[in-house]
Amino acid sequence: MQAQQYRTAQRTLWCTRLRHFTSSAQLRDTSRRQQPAPLAVPQYNIRHLVANQELYIKSCNVRRLPHVAKTVPLIAHLYSKANELRRDRTKVYSQRKALQKQLRVAKDKEPTLEHLGRLKDEGNRVDLEIEELECKMHEYMDQVPNLIPDDCPVDEERVVKYLCSPPSDLAKPIRNDDEFIQPIDFESKPPADHVDIGLQLGIIDLMTASKISGHAFYYLIGDGAGLEQALVQYALDKARRRGFKMMVPPSVVRREFAHACGFRPRDTNGEQQIYNISIAGGEPDSGDEGRLCLAGTAEIPLAAWGSDKSFDAKELPVKLVGLSRSYRAEAGSRGRDTRGIYRVHEFTKVELFTWVPGSNEGFPEGIPTSAEMLEEIRELQEDIISGLGLHARVLDMPGSDLGASAYRKYDIEVWMPGRQNWGEVTSASNCTDYQSRRLHTRVMLGGNVLTYAHTLNGTAMAVPRAIVAILENYYDPERKAVWIPHALRKYFEGRAWIERQ
């Protein structure tokens, strides 16, 4: 029922936005002009879908969206029918134009005026039919995900490489100020996890947070808070050295921007993803009631910053690194992930975002394509994780794991002893022109030629999960302290250990 209500509301939004941007938009109630202008109707590449239906059907099926796959031929049918009606409309307008010329010289104007009236009614009828077809096409196209590359894994991720592999033949762990080296036992009983360690050291408080805010919230105290700030500055330093410009975006965004980036109110499991904001005591007509949400990642406000912009080709690539608080309503609903701070509702995150051209054609030499930029982002992520000395694996993710906007995605997972399993710490996605067509972000080539930019996003630092990995991998049970990686020590006044507060 909720999904149906959402689709109905979304269709109403498409139709409203379509009408808003017609030539009659100037006749709107002037009071509306005080509200933020609605995001323009997405410029879906329907022609490409019609010409490549099998590719889109495959993408839908690989992502386990068979109900969306069934709409692809329906979109093609609606597109053909709309084009046929547009040809009919052109004929009507041509007839009207011819009659208007006759009207100037006709002695008896009444028959001609009556004919013009009938043609006007016919034109209005055709316009309404076209508008209805366009509403249906937008409703269906809104659900169609991005394509996937031919070599994308289908159901199982592909391991690209391992990072910082530990020794397998070490007789005794090395735990001193300079080195922390120990083999990983993939089979034994899990040691103390980050919750036990954090409580023992007095740097994490889950009980008080649960009382104050509810499940999946937390306090970081003393060196716990210091560790968060160290990880943030470490990631920002790494990103800036690679040409990323720092930005602190808002965490509150209009829902239509979250939607345009590919974030839905509910995921495929029906779990609530987004915190919607209602303003207590606010005016119903304020324009904000029910229209705002908390961003699940800085990707959303960073992508939205480029909305309705046209970048000059010489500016590319545009590379931003954003620092923000992120909010996930679905956190804490998946078994073992509910313990501790691995999956939480609110957390600090450093996000990478870039705009690049889709291809080299027509662009100055040296500007990376989106495929090349994805590799660059992945290399930066590998550098960040390797710099912390964490044993990790880089994965080329399968189509069944991709969100609607992603064309290709890499994840990096770190071994977490407390979970006795791998845990995702970064993700990098090439969204091609999926977001830019919805946000109207384009690139201007020579001769005023405009093309849609390609967007990419990637995690530079998801702070809670990095804390989990550091506490569990660098805990010395004999000393009852956590070893601080060398890369973070300058943020701890050179100290080597986090000990009981």
pLDDT in tens, 210-266: 999 999 999 999 999 999 999 999 999 999 999 999 999 999 999 999 999 998 765
Q: Name the 3-class secondary structure at 445.
A: strand
Confidence of residue 18 (pLDDT cuts 50, 70, 90): low
Beta bridge partners of 349: 324, 462
| From 288-297, 345-354, 362-371, 408-417, the region with the lowest mean pLDDT | 288-297
CA angle 170, 171, 174 (to 5 degrees): 70
Alpha-carbon gap, residue 484 to 138, rounded angstroms: 52
Alpha-carbon gap, residue 98 to 105, rounded angstroms: 12
Contacts of 385 (CB under 8 A, 6+ apart): 163, 164, 392, 412, 414, 425, 426
Q: pLDDT (tens digit, 9 = 90+) per residue, 205-223?
A: 999 999 999 999 999 999 9
On whether the CB atoms of residues 456 and 443 are closer than 8 A, the answer is no
On whether the CB atoms of residues 330 and 267 are closer than 8 A, the answer is yes
Alpha-carbon gap, residue 111 to 89, rounded angstroms: 22
Beta bridge partners of 163: 392
Distance of CA 22 to the CA centre of its chain: 29
Can you tell me the mean pLDDT for 176-191?
84
Mean pLDDT over each residue of the chain, to the nearest integer:
88
| From 155-159, 183-187, 312-316, the region with the lowest mean pLDDT | 183-187
Can you tell me the mean pLDDT for 272-287?
69
Can you tell me the mean pLDDT for 72-82?
97
Can you tell me the mean pLDDT for 194-208?
97
Can you tell me the mean pLDDT for 5-22?
55
Q: How far is CA 417 from CA 61, 189, 276, 421, 463, in A?
A: 35, 9, 36, 7, 18
Is the pLDDT at 25 greater than 50, yes or no? Answer: no
- The dihedral built from the CA positions of residue 66, 67, 70 and 76, taken in this order, carries a sign that is negative
What is the model's pLDDT at position 29? 45
Is the pLDDT at 285 greater than 60, yes or no? Answer: no
What is the model's pLDDT at position 334? 52
Q: pLDDT (tens digit, 9 = 90+) per residue, 145-169?
A: 999 999 999 889 999 999 999 887 7
- The dihedral built from the CA positions of residue 38, 297, 384 and 488, taken in this order, carries a sign that is positive
| From 24-33, 256-265, 303-312, 400-409, the region with the lowest mean pLDDT | 24-33
- What is the number of other CB atoms lying within 10 angstroms of the CB of residue 266? 15
The structure tokens listed for 445 are 């080539």
Q: pLDDT (tens digit, 9 = 90+) per residue, 354-402?
A: 999 988 777 888 899 999 999 999 999 999 999 999 999 999 999 999 9
Can you tell me the mean pLDDT for 19-26?
46
Helix (H) or strand (E) holding 124: helix 110-141
Is the pLDDT at 335 greater than 70, yes or no? Answer: no
Can you tell me the mean pLDDT for 321-325?
98
Question: What percentage of the chain carries pLDDT values higher than 90?
Answer: 69
Alpha-carbon gap, residue 382 to 400, rounded angstroms: 24
Question: What percentage of the chain carries pLDDT values higher than 70?
Answer: 87
More confident residue, 266 or 314: 314
Q: Name the 3-class secondary structure at 255.
A: helix
Beta bridge partners of 429: 409, 457
On whether the CB atoms of residues 218 and 205 are closer than 8 A, the answer is yes
Q: Is the N-terminal amide bond of 364 cis, ω within 30° of 0?
A: no
On whether the CB atoms of residues 68 and 60 are closer than 8 A, the answer is yes
Confidence of residue 23 (pLDDT cuts 50, 70, 90): very low
Beta bridge partners of 428: 410, 458
Alpha-carbon gap, residue 214 to 204, rounded angstroms: 15
DSSP type of residue 34: G
Can you tell me the mean pLDDT for 90-112?
80
- The dihedral built from the CA positions of residue 449, 301, 231 and 491, taken in this order, carries a sign that is positive
What is the model's pLDDT at position 27? 39
Can you tell me the mean pLDDT for 266-280?
71
- What is the number of other CB atoms lying within 10 angstroms of the CB of residue 367? 17
Angle between helix 110-141 and 71-105 (nearest 10)? 160
What is the model's pLDDT at position 156? 93
Can you tell me the mean pLDDT for 79-104?
88
On whether the CB atoms of residues 116 and 104 are closer than 8 A, the answer is no
Alpha-carbon gap, residue 340 to 418, rounded angstroms: 11
What is the model's pLDDT at position 20? 52
More confident residue, 110 or 393: 393
Q: Name the 3-class secondary structure at 237.
A: helix
Confidence of residue 22 (pLDDT cuts 50, 70, 90): very low
Is the pLDDT at 479 greater than 90, yes or no? Answer: yes
| Three-state SS sequence of 325-385 | EEECCCCCCCHHHHCCCCCCCEEEEEEEEEEECCCCCCCCCCCCCHHHHHHHHHHHHHHHH
What is the model's pLDDT at position 377? 98
Q: pLDDT (tens digit, 9 = 90+) per residue, 413-472?
A: 999 999 999 999 999 999 999 999 999 999 988 767 889 999 999 999 999 999 999 999
- Fold assignment, 158-166+239-278+293-475: BirA Bifunctional Protein; domain 2 (3.30.930)
What is the model's pLDDT at position 30? 41
The structure tokens listed for 179 are 């080195």
What is the model's pLDDT at position 291? 85
The structure tokens listed for 118 are 């009938």
Q: Name the 3-class secondary structure at 189.
A: coil
| From 105-119, 269-283, 374-388, the region with the lowest mean pLDDT | 269-283
Q: Where are the domains of the chain?
A: 2-141, 158-166+239-278+293-475
Contacts of 371 (CB under 8 A, 6+ apart): 408, 430
Is the pLDDT at 7 greater than 70, yes or no? Answer: no
Q: Is beta strand 481-483 parallel, antiparallel or unpaired with respect to 252-254? A: unpaired
